Amino acid sequence: MSLNLFDDAEQSRVWHEELCPGALVLRHFALSYEPAIFAALDEIAAQTPFRHMVTPGGFTMSVAMTSCGSYGWVTDRRGYRYDKVDPLSGKQWPVLPEVFRKLAEDAAARAGFADFAPDACLINRYAAGARLSLHQDKDERDIGQPIVSVSLGIPAIFLFGGACREDKTQRIQLTHGDVVVWGGPARLHFHGISPLKEAHHPLTGDVRINLTFRKAT
């Protein structure tokens, strides 16, 4: 499979914006991987359909989710955790596609985090009105590894705060192909997504797809 590595033309379309030390937005970074990404997404969703999980407090999430990789992220009445098995099917999650692994590793390296080796990819689907409240990613065993988040489809407002929930929050518009990477001193910063507005994208229709890569173990 060709992973559509950057040529000079693609490279010139990519630039970065620093949010704070340890956190960058890589604009357009995922565009050169686009055809292979969507082919892989179709296969994953066919094996492990999107679903609206329930939080430990009993609330149904507005974001529909699935996973791939050695581990998937799960929430239910028992809590938040990574699990090797999809609770919906009782089977292992789909293997992390090579194009996903390559994209995550390349983006992390571009942001200054060499040797990132993700073993989990959370795949979120946002329809209009869906949101993700401010939270920290701290279920992973090694917080020395960064988070790599890929935006596909309709735009979203990414909320990026500080190490405390009360810290000032930046509002960053993310569009199709943008990648956010945060780690190091920014690894436990609070972040979220504002309620999505209605929009349309030719590749995803009326939704946003977000790929979030982590090293869970």
**Where do the domains of the chain lie, and which CATH numbers do they carry?**
16-214 (2.60.120.590)
User: Which class for 134: exposed (0-12), middle (13-18), buried (19 or more C-beta within 10 A)?
Assistant: middle
Residue 6's pLDDT is 42
Name the region of 153 (left: φ>0; alpha: ψ -120 to 50; beta: rest): left
Q: Tens digits of per-residue pLDDT, 71-113?
A: 999 999 889 999 999 999 999 999 999 999 999 999 999 999 9
State the Cα–Cα distance between residues 144 and 164, nearest whole angstrom. 18
Residue 4's pLDDT is 41
One digit per residue, the tens of pLDDT, for the chain of length 217 reads 333 444 444 545 789 999 999 999 999 999 999 999 999 999 999 999 999 999 999 999 999 999 999 999 999 988 999 999 999 999 999 999 999 999 999 999 999 999 999 999 999 999 999 999 999 999 999 899 999 999 999 999 999 999 999 999 999 999 999 999 999 999 999 999 999 999 999 999 999 999 999 999 9
Residue 12's pLDDT is 54
- pTM, two decimals, is 0.93
In degrees and rounded to multiples of 5, residue 212 shows phi and psi of -120, 115
